[in-house]
Structure 1
């Protein structure tokens, strides 16, 4: 009979996995002592709203990093998706639902292109996505004429609306983000497709030899990641109320930071997507807490950089000790 430890993913049986949760708890306790507003329902809801776009992008980024890849284009692809759905709805007059699908379709297409270049031409993911980052940025600026798209249909901004829970306003976009994290966690943990993603990240050649189509798994991961970027596009539009061609400037690095802080290994095959949610919350809590303390935004960037270096260093040391 299998034990509970055997049923859990290997990463959960390692005490180091508790690191992100402990870091989040310590950060919350620290900022609670510095400002009485920090632990209020309204402020915690605001933190969730602030991380919902990066959080959804980071779901796709987690899938890619689990296969030992990386996607530098995610932020700019997300921005392009937002511009497409905004302009299709306002200038072309498409029904909002169709405009949203077109935006998600564009981001998914970029995921397909990334996946084909990685799997068919065997180009390194870093180089491929660095190239598509610039392509997505150029298309976004050209198509939008570097102008913000305003006067959007209410359907495009509906996820930015809120509802009350115990007197605290919670955005519908936050709920969608949490549902997506839960769904992805279930797929990765409970389905054969999810286990294949981990297997490819652990050892792609050994996985291929046992009959798993590794190239199809990799291609599927990039395509699905592209779809997540499209959903993040909608959340970005809903939160800001406009189609912003300058969105996505920092989201790629923020998403990678969330994944690494959440305990997913850059070497692939090890990590839990719920850890990515914790990683995104760590970044959000630090930025929100430092803002409440009146700390300059440049120091917030500095702290984020230090956190990601520490997380990568921990991952490197853990990988060496496991060899």
Structure 2
């Protein structure tokens, strides 16, 4: 079973060619509409705007590669941010420990999702729909629906920037790119990464080769939770506050990025870098349309059209492969 998964790795860059061409086409179009679009400062801003969704999309990609889905990611991310913020400000914990607690909470939600999917055999859609609402309720109750301010500098340092020439680049952007590189390597070069693809391709066949699908799935959901925790920290760093209303749209944005990037909702097919490209496509469209003065409602409309086209392409590809 691992062998077919490895074969997929060599084909996936071709599958990502479409999203990459779409990204390039969008950049060319918007550069003709506004001369500011291709400036270093604006492109850096796009990366900073997508870094939270981009990191959430890493965890979402891992889940979707196993033919699952995680609707709870945005709300779990918001809860992680509130835990980090309140533990650091109200409980007076050292920032590093507060961050660790936030990561622990998001990983715990991943563990719960994984256990319900693997042990209770509930559909991932239903499980994560339920934990999404649970995370939202806990976030609102624990925060009192109030924004947490006065955060220590250590919680917001990833929102700072450094100069490369005349362009300011965010530390959070660098972290996002490093995480993508790390996960790309793990999925491509390690046995654990190949097992993720194998489970998505054929769970029963994977089991017959001696690989435990439940163990793989449990690990995937816990890892996804950890990535949502990192996204929590990036969200807090970017806004400078713990916002209980964060994460309202990030779950759909992350799924959109993954699908636009070419990862199949049927599992077993996808390339992690494609999810980054998908997040950038959404970010570029929103940024470009904003520079053109287009209303935000049309930006949502365009995003909806893009995701429907991507899913339709995936469906047609899956049918032709059967």
Pairing of 1:116-127 with structure 2 (within 5 A): 116-127=115-126
- Normalization by structure 1: what TM-score? 0.97
Alpha-carbon spacing, 1:92–1:14, altered in 2? closer, same or farther (3 Å): closer
Say yes or no: does 1:18 pair with 2:29: no
Structure 2 partner of 1:176? 175
Aligned residues of 1:11 and 1:272 also touching (Cα < 8 A)? no
Aligned to 1:283: 282
Structure 2 partner of 1:219: 218
- Distance in 2 (CA, whole Å) between partners of 1:58 and 1:321 is 27
Structure 1 unmatched runs, 5+: 1-5
TM-score (norm 2): 0.97
Q: How does 1:1-323 map to 2 (within 5 A)?
A: 9-10=8-9, 12=11, 15-323=14-322
CA deviation vs aligned residue, 1:130-165 (integer Å, no higher than 9, x gap): 000000000000000000000000000000000001
Q: What secondary structure is seen at the aligned counterpart in 2 of 1:9?
A: helix
Query: Would you say the 8 A contact 2:151–2:240 is kept in 1?
Result: yes
Alignment-derived partner of residue 3 in structure 1: none
Change (3 A) 1:144 1:13: closer
Q: Distance in 1 between matches of 2:288 and 2:120?
A: 45
Deviation by residue 1:29-59 (Cα, 9 ceiling, x = unmatched): 0000000000000000000000000000000
Q: Which whole-Å CA distance do the structure 1 matches of 2:280 and 2:96 have between them?
A: 30
Distance in 1 of aligned mates of 2:47 and 2:290: 15
Query: Once superposed, which parts of structure 1, at least 4 consecutive aligned residues long, lie more than 6 Å away?
Result: none
Verify the 8 A CA contact 1:64 1:225 in the aligned structure 2. Answer: yes
Distance 1:263 1:11, change over 3 A: farther
Deviates more, 1:178-187 or 1:10-19: 10-19
Q: Distance in 2 between matches of 1:65 and 1:22?
A: 23
Verify the 8 A CA contact 1:100 1:234 in the aligned structure 2: yes
| Cα root mean square deviation, aligned | 1.2
User: Secondary structure of the residue that 1:169 maps to in structure 2?
Assistant: strand
Q: Which digits, 9 at most, give the CA deviation of each residue in 1:141-193, with x for residues without a partner?
A: 00000000000000000000000011100000000000000000000000000
Q: CA deviation at 1:12?
A: 2.7
Paired residues of 2:108 and 2:222 also in contact (CA < 8 A): yes
Q: What are the Cα deviations for residues 218-258 of structure 1, in whole angstroms up to 9, with x where unaligned?
A: 00000000000000000000000000000000000000000
- What is the SS of the residue equivalent to 2:169? strand
Give, in whole Å, the separation in 1 of the partners of 2:226 and 2:12: 31
2:12, 2:160 → 1: CA distance?
A: 39
Equivalences, count: 318
Q: 1:70 to 1:306 in 2, by over 3 A?
A: same
Distance 1:209 1:122 in 2: 19
Where does the alignment leave 5 or more consecutive residues of structure 2 unmatched? none
